[in-house]
Amino acid sequence: MDILFSFLICLIATTAGGISGVGGGVIIKPVMDATSGLPVATISFLSGCTVLAMSFTSMVRSRGGEIQVEKRRGTPLALGAAVGGILGKQIFEIVLQSGGNAVRIAQQVLMILLTLGVLAYTRLRKRIV
């Protein structure tokens, strides 16, 4: 039953992420933290695998499309994203050791607010720009 619940969360999150333009991992982690009771390492692994599968699928689908990634620009962006993710995780672990659950709650609230902000921007983009 837990596997089915996790699968449904990932499916709904990736669908909502695809519609709103937000990565599914941004939705999966806070929802799984709040509802599943799984360890943080397990949730991070599930979220990472889901995001990897989504990214791979998106990349394969877009290979024949009219928009091509410039390797000169895309490679540094990809490397920066990877380094930023690793450094962000390390910083989060350091802060978490000093702050406990309050840091976790603050992170979840910020992720939800970020997701809602991106969704609002996506829906109201023509009025904003």
* pLDDT tens, residue by residue, 81-110: 889 889 988 887 887 787 767 777 777 788
- pLDDT at residue 74 above 70? yes
CA atoms within a 13 Å half-sphere pointing along the CA-CB vector of 61 = 6
pLDDT higher at 68 or 12: 12
The total number of structural domains that make up the chain: 1
> Is 38 a member of any domain?
yes
**Domain boundaries, position 19:** 2-66+76-128
pLDDT at residue 21, rounded to an integer: 65
Position 47 in a domain: yes
Q: Please give the model's pTM, rounded to 2 decimal places.
A: 0.53
Q: How confident is the model at residue 129 (pLDDT cuts 50, 70, 90)?
A: low
* pLDDT for 1 beyond 70: no
In a domain, 71, yes or no: no
Flag whether 113 is in a domain: yes
